[in-house]
Amino acid sequence: MRNRSIFPSSSSMAHPRGPNIGRGNEHPEDALIRLSTDSTYTLTGYSSLVLTAFLGAVNFVEAYYRALQHSKRTIASFYVPPVPGEKPLPRIVINGNELQSGAALQEIFEKQLPQARYRVLDCDCSIINPEYPQPGFAGKTTPSISMVVIVSGSVKFGDEPERTFSETFVLVPNHDSAQPPRSGRDARNRPRRDGFLIQSQNFRTVALHHD
């Protein structure tokens, strides 16, 4: 990969656009808990899915870009594992360059790139499939959802100029997320993903960043 500026400090993290559920500086997760226990507010099936997507996107974006900066050894764990004989997934495209796996991206961050500093300025999400099928349950689906998450912001690698970027993810449920957490060092280094994995990712730097 010739261009080292291929990616985006989570010091500035905008929450995804979504329903106006917060009060003041209330975090979306706190707002969701409040609404789910508020007898005066009734969530319809659709609005509940929207809130699930909203909260999932917030937590994914915060965890993913934090990992790119501070927990590089965990990057590969954000991606769906490749399945031999099936459609090649995940599909990762970085400035037009296709990578074969999350492990390949992790290796680039660990061995090729200088320290990254990200600023995520905007994030949007939309549900793709409100009833994403769960393997092992023939003919049945769970309330799991798949969604598209679009992120924009700026990134600076080492002494290179800061650049703006745009990145689009397709996230699918992590059906192993219900498993007990790992212990020891793996548990401390494994970031929170709230049950979503990256199935598809397209990253592109746009231009030099100007304040």
| Model confidence, pTM | 0.71
Q: Rounded to 5 degrees, what angle do the CA atoms 21, 23, 29 make?
A: 55
Looking up residue 100, the CATH number of its domain turns out to be 3.10.450.50
State the Cα–Cα distance between residues 204 and 86, nearest whole angstrom: 27
Residue 133 lies inside a defined structural domain of this protein: yes
55-102 pLDDT tens trace: 889 899 999 999 999 999 999 999 998 877 777 889 999 999 999 899
pLDDT exceeds cutoff 60 at 191: no
The whole domain housing 190 covers 29-208
pLDDT exceeds cutoff 50 at 179: no
Report the number of distinct structural domains present in the chain: 1
Residue 194 lies inside a defined structural domain of this protein: yes
- What's the rounded mean pLDDT across residues 175-203? 62
Question: Among residues of the chain, what percentage have pLDDT more than 90?
Answer: 44
Between residues 149 and 137, which one has the greater pLDDT?
149
SS3 assignment, position 36 = helix
Residue 39 lies inside a defined structural domain of this protein: yes
The candidate with the shortest Cα–Cα distance to 201, out of 96, 123, 109, is 96
Residue 5 lies inside a defined structural domain of this protein: no
